[in-house]
Structure 1
Amino acid sequence: MTAGAPLLQPGWREGVRPANGVNLHVVEAGREGDPLLILLHGFPEFWWAWRHQITPLAAAGYHVVVPDMRGYNLSDKPDGLAAYTLDVLAADVIGLADAFGAARVHLVGHDWGAVIGWWVAARHADRLERVVLMNGPHPDVWARQALKHPTQALRSTYVAFFQLPWLPEATLGGFDFAGLKAMMQASARAGSFEPHALDRYAEAWARPGALTAMLNYYRALRERPRSGGPARLSPETLILWAADDRFLERHVAEAGLALCDRGRLEFVEDATHWLHIEQPDRINARILRFLESGA
């Protein structure tokens, strides 16, 4: 990959779709009318996180839709923490399905995209076919597991930092986002990101209001009301968990699995948090097998 090379590949289309009161920038591939498959990126990525998945999944017969989540890159960036609660973020996904006229969709999420995916599956199960969640915790178990496991609490200290006012923006955004770039590189295997890839991420982070909106996902967690018990998932769910994730330990995935009525958990060895970038062929094949057969 060279600096300035176009992000869109042959067969990919981009546009804007209204969803839940905001406009979401989306990239799509595949035929309209094929089963709708929505891919949700995490922090601090944008739609391009799925660059290794879009074409193979579309070629397998899916209408692949990849949004910039609200607050990210070219999507709307509403003000205030209330615009970034889990209920709102989950409603964005349902609104996107509505915008494409799909009564039911397949859903794949990574990192924050997986966090949102857990919540969509818990709150809107009737709109989902099969769900794949990668290295993002169930919202109702994340804090519980950190309390039980001091090592996980230590790994999660960044969450508390991200919730502070203004300081995270100053720390992560300075010197052309050197802090964010360093975080991604340090948590991945050497060579995971192509030459100039992190510059492309920095272009998305530099859009007005983007960094604050991205951090508001974490800040809004403080506003979340506590319910009586953890939310269960009824859709068929596959949890793919990188074994060498520096942010999340294995027990976080196991606690999420315990809340799935029809779930399976598989650890991906020799992969870090960025498993979909490091092992795309393996991840793509596993996603397709599960979407096609549930196995």
Structure 2
Amino acid sequence: MSDLPPLETGVTGIRSRFVEDINGLRMHVLEAGTAGRPCLLLLHGFPELAYSWRKVMPALAAAGYHVVAPDQRGYGRTTGWSADYDGDLAPFRMLNLARDAVGLLAALGLRSVEAVVGHDFGASVAAWCALVRPDIFRRVALMSAPFAGVPPLPLGPQKPVPKPDIHAALATLPRPRKHYQWYYSTRPANAEMQQAPQGLHAFLRAYYHVKSADWAPNAPHRLPGWTAEALAELPGYYIMDLGLDMAAQVAPDMPDAAAIAANAWLPEAELAVYAGEYARTGFQGGLQWYRCRTSGLFEAETQLFAGRSIDVPAVFVSGASDWGVYQTPGAVERMRDEACSRMLGCHLIPGAGHWVQQEQPAEVTRRLLEFLAASPGA
């Protein structure tokens, strides 16, 4: 895979290239704007790519920024990572993903960026970047996934406290369910999506559709707590039917041909870019991130930062139809009141679901530029 060519984005003003020797990676990046101008680093989520920023990069560049969006570890045309399910998970832990970002900036000759902007799982990386190295990441914009803060460090003698088994409770509901993050952590998940019976392109079409504002049943609201009954209010793409894989879960909600033809934010040619990349790489690189989270293997090292908050200017932007805002009960409140000491706004954009920067790029760009103009960097 090391001889992959640059990606043809089809978007005027966006350049594709590779940066060598980034924390063991050959990193594929998309760029817009002129090097030497204030830099914005954009970090994508799952199952996405640097390409997910294509609709906002030219406008941010036109506003005077040098915009850099990498394919993160495990994704796209970035190489140097292993997709072995039985391989080492440590390279995919959050602090190493932040190190990837720092390494990329160093390779570009940058001592700091005006802001790091993260969407979905990329928001977690962006949050840790801002928390650990505020000298480098002068502002942070979190999109679609609230950052609830650093895991606490237990103090004093600790006696194990049995916790309710949320997975057992979900499985015994009248409609038996399971949590998608733990499904993503299973061995079969990659093949079940990459080799979906309906085809990879159709699977991605249905998956992107149900998490967008185009899917009428998306009516997110706060949940009362981390209980099976409360979580069961989430749609099936978050709290899945117990006996289904993700491809089967979203298949009944595949949009019809007319809806696909009318889709302006993700036309077939653009969806084909995602399908082509994931047909080649599979999903396991991104799924390793979930396995780091659900296993808890690396929580102890993040506890080193217990009590720390993000102290650079911060903003949260999401779609008004995005259940991701509320999937972890209380996360938005903890982000706003505790995890970010300089939270300047939480914006829920109408007409957008989870893929907010693709569904409503003009409004996302406006909110980002407004935030950059209003906030002095760290």
SS in 2 for 1:207: helix
- Specify the alignment match of 1:293 in structure 2: 374
* Cα distance in 1 for residues equivalent to 2:91 and 2:150: 23
Question: Which structure's residues are more often helix, by fraction?
Answer: 1
Q: Tell me how far 1:247 sits from its aligned partner.
A: 3.2
Task: Among all aligned residue pairs of Structure 1 and Structure 2, give the percentage whose two residues are the same amino acid.
Answer: 32
Given that 1:119 and 1:139 are in contact with CA atoms closer than 8 Å, whether structure 2 keeps it comes out as no
| Paired letter, 2:117 | V
Aligned-pair CA distance for 1:275: 1.3
Q: Secondary structure at the match of 2:268?
A: coil
Offset at residue 141 of structure 1 (A): 6.9
* 1:182 matched residue in structure 2: 206
What is the CA–CA distance in structure 2 between the aligned matches of 1:83 and 1:198, rounded to whole Å? 29
* Aligned partner of residue 116 in structure 2, secondary structure: strand
The amino acid of 1:265's aligned partner reads G
- Contact 2:27–2:77, Cα closer than 8 Å, also in 1: yes
Does the 8 Å contact 2:144/2:319 carry over to 1?
A: yes
Which region of structure 1 is more displaced relative to structure 2, 34-43 or 252-261? 252-261
What does residue 197 of structure 1 align with? 270
Aligned to 1:217: 289
Task: Report the alpha carbon displacement of residue 242 of structure 1 after superposing the two structures with TM.
Answer: 2.5
Which region of structure 1 is more displaced relative to structure 2, 180-189 or 216-225? 180-189
Note if 1:168 corresponds to 2:198: no
Distance (whole Å) between structure 2 residues aligned to residue 164 and residue 43 of structure 1: 16
Aligned AA (1:246): W
Which secondary structure does the structure 2 equivalent of 1:11 belong to? Answer: coil
Give the 3-state SS of the residue equivalent to 1:31 in structure 2. Answer: coil
Deviations, residues 86-135 of structure 1 (Å, cap 9, x unaligned): 01100011111111111111211100111111111111111112111101
Report the Cα offset of residue 138 of structure 1: 2.0
Q: How has the CA–CA distance of structure 1 residues 81 and 180 changed in structure 2, closer, same or farther, with 3 Å as cutoff?
A: farther
Contact 1:125/1:234 (8 A) holds in 2: yes
How far apart, in 2, do the equivalents of 1:67 and 1:8 lie? Answer: 17
Please report the TM-score for the alignment, with normalisation by the length of structure 1. Answer: 0.87
Q: Figure out how many residues of one structure are paired with residues of the other and give that number.
A: 283
Contact 2:38 2:64 in 1 (8 A): yes
Give the aligned CA root-mean-square deviation in angstroms: 2.7
1:122 aligns with 2:95: no
Distance 1:274 1:156, change over 3 A: farther
User: Any conservation in 2 of the 1:241–1:268 contact (CA below 8 Å)?
Assistant: yes
Bigger proportion of residues as strand = 1
3-state secondary structure, aligned to 2:370: helix
Partner of 2:48, secondary structure, is coil
Instruction: Return the alpha-carbon distance in structure 2 between the equivalents of residues 232 and 87 of structure 1.
Output: 16
Pick which of 32-41 and 187-196 moved more: 187-196
Please give the residue correspondences for 1:91-130 in structure 2 after superposition, counting only pairs within 5 Å.
91-105=99-113, 106-130=115-139
Q: Answer yes or no: is the 8 Å Cα contact 2:319–2:349 preserved in 1.
A: yes
Is the alpha carbon distance of 1:104 and 1:40 closer, same or farther for their aligned partners in structure 2, counting shifts above 3 Å?
A: same
In 2, Cα distance between equivalents of 1:112 and 1:118 = 10
Please state how far the C-alpha of 1:246 moved relative to its aligned partner: 2.5
- Runs of at least 5 residues in structure 1 that lack an aligned partner in the other structure: none
Q: Find the aligned partners of 1:196 and 1:136 in 2 and give their Cα distance.
A: 27
Correspondences of 1:1-295 after superposition (within 5 Å) = 6-18=8-20, 19-79=22-82, 80-105=88-113, 106-138=115-147, 140=149, 157-165=179-187, 167-175=188-196, 176-177=199-200, 178-190=202-214, 191=263, 192-208=265-281, 210-221=282-293, 222=295, 223-226=297-300, 227=303, 229=306, 231-249=308-326, 251-257=330-336, 258-270=338-350, 271-294=352-375
8 Å contact from structure 2 (residues 148, 331) kept in 1? no
Classify 1:213/1:111 alpha carbon distance in 2 versus 1 (closer, same or farther; 3 Å): same
Alpha-carbon distance, 1:230 to partner? 5.6
Q: If the length of structure 2 is used for normalisation, what is the TM-score?
A: 0.69
Unpaired segments ≥5 residues, structure 2: 1-6, 83-87, 152-162, 171-176, 215-262
Q: Deviation at 1:245? A: 1.4
Q: Distance in 2 between matches of 1:264 and 1:279?
A: 21
Partner SS for 1:25? strand
The amino acid of 1:188's aligned partner reads S
SS in 2 for 1:170: helix
CA drift of 1:272 comes to 1.1
1:61–1:276 CA distance, 2 compared to 1 (3 A): same
Question: CA 1:179 to 1:88, structure 2 compared with 1: closer, same or farther past 3 Å?
Answer: same
Cα gap change, 1:137 to 1:231, in 2 (>3 Å) = farther
SS in 2 for 1:193: coil
CA distance in 2, matches of 1:259, 1:64: 26
